[in-house]
A and B are shown apart, each in its own frame.
Chain A
Amino acid sequence: DAGITQSPRHKVTETGTPVTLRCHQTENHRYMYWYRQDPGHGLRLIHYSYGVKDTDKGEVSDGYSVSRSKTEDFLLTLESATSSQTSVYFCAISELQGSGHYGYTFGSGTRLTVV
C-alpha cells in the first residue's frame, strides 16, 4: 500500500474562487503526479514533481499551479476555478518495483464541481 490520501474527496465551489486539493503520501516517494479525468479523454497529466520544490508542467497545466514544500505533500491549486475545471482529480506516485521498472499507484480521487 503506497499510503496515498487525497483530500477533500468531494468539493463544490463557485466560479472564480481559489481551490486547493491535497495529496498526502506516507512512504517518502520521490515522484508525485496530478491527473484529471474527463469523459472521453482518459487521464491527462497536469503537473508532476521530482522532489521537494521541484515540479514541472504536464499536458494540461493551464489554470493550475502546484507546490511541494514537503516530500509527503503535493498540493494542486486552481487559482480561479472555471466550469471547465469540473473533473475528477487523481494523485499518483511512482516507485521502483522489484523487477526494475517503475510502478504507479493512484489515490482515490477528488471529484470537483465548479458551479
Chain B
Amino acid sequence: AQKITQTQPGMFVQEKEAVTLDCTYDTSDQSYGLFWYKQPSSGEMIFLIYQGSYDEQNATEGRYSLNFQKARKSANLVISASQLGDSAMYFCAMDSGGGADGLTFGKGTHLIIQP
C-alpha cells in the first residue's frame, strides 16, 4: 500500500518569499510517480508538477520545483517568489506508475500568502 504524509496543515508566508511544502511517501513499488496539485478556494484540482521515481533530475515547471530525495522518500514542492494567487490548498500524491490504480493523496497543506 502507498502512503503520503504532509506534516504542515497550514502555512503563512510573506509575498515574494520562497516556500517549501513538505511531502514524504511510503511505497514498496520500485516504479512510481509523484505529483503535486493545487486547489484554490474555487475548488478545482490543478496539476502542478510530476516526478518519476527513475528521474535523476528534479522536476521544474516555471516557479515550481520538486525537491526529490529518493533515499529519504521525500518529494517537497518549492515555490519560488510566492504570489498572492498562490494561496490555496496543496496536495502531494503518488501512483504506482501504470496509470490504472489511481492516485493516493496526502491530507494537504493550506498555504496563505500574506502581502
Contacts and interface: CB of A to CB of B under 8 A. Distances in A.
Interface of A: 31, 33, 35, 40-45, 48, 50, 58, 88, 90, 92, 94-97, 99, 101-106, 108-109
A42 B101 CA distance: 17
A41 B6 CA distance: 11
Given A42-B4, A50-B100, A102-B33, 10 more contacts: A33-B102, A42-B91, A42-B107, A43-B93, A94-B100, A94-B102, A96-B99, A97-B50, A101-B33, A101-B99
The listed residue with most B CB atoms (<10 A of its CB), out of A48, A50, A92, A101, is A101
B25 interface: no
B56 to A, nearest CB: 14
A66 to B, nearest CB: 13
Contact of B100 (A31, A42, A44): A31
Contact of B107 (A41, A97, A105): A41
B9 to A, nearest CB: 8
Interface in B46-88: 47, 50, 52
Contact of B45 (A40, A90, A97): A90
B106 A42 contact: yes
A45 B99 CA distance: 14
A39 B3 CA distance: 18
B44 A101 contact: no
B101 A48 contact: yes
B100 A43 contact: no
Nearest to A59: B104
Given A43-B91, A101-B50, A101-B52, A108 B101 contact: no
A99 B103 CA distance: 18
